[in-house]
Amino acid sequence: MGVKRLLITAVAAFVMASLIAYGLLHWGQSANRDVPLPPPSVEALPQSLVVYCMHDTERGPNCRKIEKLTHEVLKQSFEKELQDGRLKWLVVNYEHPNNSFIIEEYDIGKPCIVVVDGRSGKNRAWKNHQLKVWELLDEEPAFKDYMRGEIQEALKDVPLPDAR
């Protein structure tokens, strides 16, 4: 009986020591990994047309799809405008405490695309595409056509950088 008890005690001590060692080894790592770095806050609007991908903190698959499809449209159809500065692409967490004003200012109810004219003197003209992007989310070609058309329309009034 003494050997059996000794063996059980040794195994239990080994398991406890292993759990403690594992916990100590990973304690600092998991603490750092579980606390996400705060996302940057929205800065002053650049003097251009800004396409914002507004997302929440959770970033579900539909939110990521909206971002992916819109970014593809920008890369495929507006590369020149992105390079010459007439157009900016910004991905923003509207739930971040520094960005709380965005929810009211741009009428955000869920992840969406908002196109804002950031040029001074334009009274920050903007359009929230929330309803349409969610409606077209499962129709990729229609989604891309819609966003392409909306961005083209908004760019009509934005002059080249050297004409400002």
pLDDT at site 81: 92
pLDDT-based confidence at 164, cuts 50/70/90?
A: very low
Do 12 and 73 have their domain in common? no
Do 11 and 86 have their domain in common? no
Provide the residue range defining the domain that includes 127: 49-163
Do 86 and 154 have their domain in common? yes
pLDDT at site 121: 63
Mean pLDDT of 53-78: 94
Pairing verdict, β 87-93 and 126-128: unpaired
**Hey, what amino acid is at 114?**
V
Pick left, alpha or beta for residue 83 (phi over 0 → left; psi -120 to 50 → alpha; otherwise beta): alpha
Domain count along the chain: 2
pLDDT at site 38: 44
Do 83 and 3 have their domain in common? no
Mean pLDDT of 126-146: 93
Q: Terminus-to-terminus CA distance in the chain, angstroms?
A: 92
40 belongs to a structural domain: no
Sign of CA dihedral 117, 84, 69, 98: negative
What is the spatial distance between Cα 18 and Cα 20, in angstroms, rounded to a whole number?
Answer: 5
pLDDT at site 124: 62
Do 58 and 29 have their domain in common? no
- Least confident interval from 4-8, 29-33, 119-123, 159-163: 29-33
Do 13 and 72 have their domain in common? no
8 A C-beta contact, residue 48 and residue 87: yes
To the question of pTM greater than 0.85 for the whole model, the response is no
